[in-house]
Chains A and B, each alone.
Chain A
Amino acid sequence: MLEVLFIGLSLGSILLLVALGLAITYGAMGVINMAHGEMVMVGAYVTVLSGLWLGTNIFVAIPLAFIVTALLGLLIERVVVRKLYGRLLDTLLATWGIAILIQQAVRLEFGLSFLGIHIQGLGPGLQNVSVPEILQGTLRIAGADINRYRAFIIVVTAILALATWFVIYRTVAGTQVRAIIRNPKMAAACGIDVTRVNALTFAFGSGLAGVAGVMMSGFKTVFPDMGTPMVVDGFLVVVMGGVGSLLGSVFSAGILGEINGLVAAATNDILARAVVFGVVIAIIVLKPKGLFALKGR
């Protein structure tokens, strides 16, 4: 039983890992970023490439992936998203286009494959990342065998969630972000540089996705299409938790992860995912604002 709960917890932490960035970009900026999953994918590829070309391990890849995806996020915000604030559904569509572009860029090795140049680690094929030895095998805690890598994911997620909480609730930039969540126009009137804060927020959210990608690469195969199902899961978590509520995302990720783990243990993985979708639909229908609705004006 403890093992099942643990698996549920680790599934929940993976959900949260993906959802954290979305909770920020969607909650704070009103941007449905369908390319978020591709940020995760890019993060995973950073791990693959840094392992192949720099010989570094997964720990080095974490800050590297954060920087790469944050810069990519900054670029996307500058070029596309900035023009679409206030047009929620249009951001969804435009970022879907961006998602396809990023996928194809990886698949076609930035177009170099047409010239016959191939970069090891890119391309349409599957990639694998080897995990350092400390993270392999299992731990025995309270009589239950616990996979070390899953425990590592839970720890990293907890750290990231705390860091995000700190940034949003304990720093000046975070206060500005929260002011923008409540009322962008009023925030601007109070002298907050909304454009700049939005750009940085988007970059931060994307960076978190990149770190999520590094964690994914340790236990999942890395390939260009890997991001799409993740962005869906991430959105379900954010919407169920309540848009703009970090705590809501944490709780809903935990709940969905445990449901997924328990149902999967009782039946199978496919049915478990189906039940998760069912729960999310029921909650959105019953409480459209999510479990932890932000009381705005």
Chain B
Amino acid sequence: MLSRRRIDWVIYAAFIVLIMVFPLIMDSFWLNRLAKYLVFGMLGIAVALSWGYAGILNLGQGLFFGAGAYMLAMSLKLASTTSLQQGSDKPVPDFMLWNAEPGAKTELCCINKASFLWLPFQSQWFGVAMALVLPVLIAFVLGSIVFRKRISGVFVSIITLALVLLVRLIMIDAQPVTNGFNGLTDLGWFKLGEFEFDPYVVPTYYLIAISLSVVLVLARLLVETRAGVILQAIRDDQNRARYLGFDVPAYQTFFFAVSALIAGFAGMLYVIVSEFASPTFMDLSFSITMVVWAAVGGRASILGACIGAILINMISATVSETEGFAEAWKAIIGLVFVLVVLYLPRGIAGLAHDLIDRFVARRTPDRTRALRVNGASSQLAE
């Protein structure tokens, strides 16, 4: 039978196949770019999950992305060759030395007051673990407080927005440990055993593409579970769900944390392909831009939001190559966004669903007729 759910899965499969065959037709420069956009697609998934399914418009998703990015970037910074050329046998980030007090010992433990925080990041896997744990931890604590107090709607948006800006300022201010405005650059490559993930080779692309596919499928399966359905009930009417006896804050916090985990994971992958981490990840405009991607793609569709993010970025990269058109493109994005909110609130995915529904509806009469004929004939046989 051709149910809508089955069509959905066919489309998911088609998308995954599509991103898997890209390396066959693209050069390494574009592949690296595309890998970044796939990471943004993952951010689209995170936004769709918290906004579309949980009804929580998080305007500070960049916080989780940034946390994931910085955690891995710290490890990769220590793995970089520049960190080994600072006159010590142990790695020390170059920027710490530039700003070191005269006479300070060139070692991570004590080159400045807070540099000891970097010590465990000498192990890459500690960085990876932290990139996943830290966003979840922040989201869990924040969610527990905010959702237990029954804060909802725009107030959650404002809190998340203020929080991401707060953290951004602290990161900039803590210049000796974070390199402030400049962020962490000159990173080493991510290693898996002996293999080094050069950002411009095909295996790195596959690392991202496979990660995205896994996240995509898992997120889709997650919203189909009982918990996912309850979450949507909460989104539609919090009080009703509460009176029905569901622990509303627990569901909200859980999905908020899952969304944070995905965003953190995306941040970590972004560092692997882009080789830097900077406070711009926590700019307000970046967090809102993610929401824009999801809105254009379809806020209530996981794949839609993901495709929205990838498409917008691919188009803007192509268009921006034409000189002078980059600024005009921004204006077009602004216009598209207004139009989408006004006339296409469910985004591209909503449009696609309507088309599929029409397609399915057209087929259905045939099938029921066929059933009726079958039923009649079986009755005759009796």
Chain A contact residues, CB within 8 Å of chain B: 32, 80, 83-84, 88-90, 92-94, 96-101, 103-105, 107-108, 111, 114, 124, 228-229, 232, 235-236, 239, 268, 270-271, 273-274, 277-278, 280-281, 284-285, 288
Contacts and interface: CB of A to CB of B under 8 A. Distances in A.
22 contacts: A32-B154, A89-B154, A93-B291, A94-B342, A97-B292, A97-B334, A97-B335, A99-B334, A101-B331, A101-B335, A104-B328, A104-B334, A236-B158, A239-B155, A270-B173, A274-B166, A274-B173, A277-B162, A277-B169, A284-B162, A288-B151, A288-B155
B57 A89 contact: yes
Contacts of B284: 228-229, 232
A114 B324 contact: yes
B65 to A, nearest CB: 18
A104 B338 contact: no
Given A236-B162, A285-B159, A84 B145 contact: no
Residue among A105, A278, A288 with the most chain B CB within 10 A?
A288
A108 B333 CA distance: 15
The 7 closest A-B pairs by CB, nearest first: A100-B334, A97-B337, A104-B331, A277-B166, A97-B338, A274-B169, A94-B341
A90 B342 CA distance: 9
A281 B338 contact: no
A32 B146 CA distance: 21
Contact of B169 (A92, A104, A228, A270): A270
Contacts, number: 113
Residue among B145, B146, B159 with the most chain A CB within 10 A?
B159
B5 interface: no
A100 B292 CA distance: 12
B295 A83 contact: no
Interface string B147-171: 0010101110111011101100110
A92 B285 contact: no
B330 interface: yes
Contact of A90 (B145, B146, B334, B341): B341
The dominant DSSP class at the B interface is helix
B327 interface: yes
B292 A93 contact: yes
A96 B159 CA distance: 18
Contacts of A285: 145-146, 149, 151, 159
A112 to B, nearest CB: 12
Contacts of B146: 285
A268 B172 CA distance: 12
Contacts of B137: none
A80 B340 CA distance: 12
B288 interface: yes
Given A83-B342, A97-B334, A98-B334, A284 B158 contact: yes
